[in-house]
Amino acid sequence: MYFVISNNQKLYLCLLLIAYCLLLIAYCLLLIAYCLLLIAYCLLLIGCHSANLKKSFISSDCSPLGRIK
C-alpha cells in the first residue's frame, strides 16, 4: 500500500511534532524543577536537624507554620 501525503498534511504533521517536542521539553523542565524543590526541602530538613542537634542560638523548629504557643 502506498499513501500519498499532501504538503498541507506534511506541514500539519511537522507542527504537531514540534508542539509535542515543546510539550515534552516543558514536562522535563517541570520534572527538574520538582526534583530541585525536593532537594532543597531535604537540605532544609537536614539543616534544621543539625541545628537542633547542635543546640544553636537560633531557635529553629523546622515547621512551616512556626512555633505554636
DSSP sequence for 27-68:
HHHHHHHHHHHHHHHHHHHHHHHHHHHHT-SS-----TT---
Structural domain containing residue 26? 16-44
Does some domain include residue 53? no
**Contacting residues for 62 by C-beta, under 8 A, at least 6 apart:** 44, 45, 48, 49, 52
What is the value of pTM for the model shown? 0.57
Q: What is the pLDDT of residue 14?
A: 94
On the question of pLDDT at 57 being above 50, the answer is no
On the question of pLDDT at 1 being above 60, the answer is yes
Does some domain include residue 7? no
Summarised one tens digit per residue, pLDDT across range 18-52 is 999 999 999 999 999 999 999 999 888 887 766 66
Does some domain include residue 33? yes
Q: What is the pLDDT of residue 62?
A: 59
Does some domain include residue 57? no
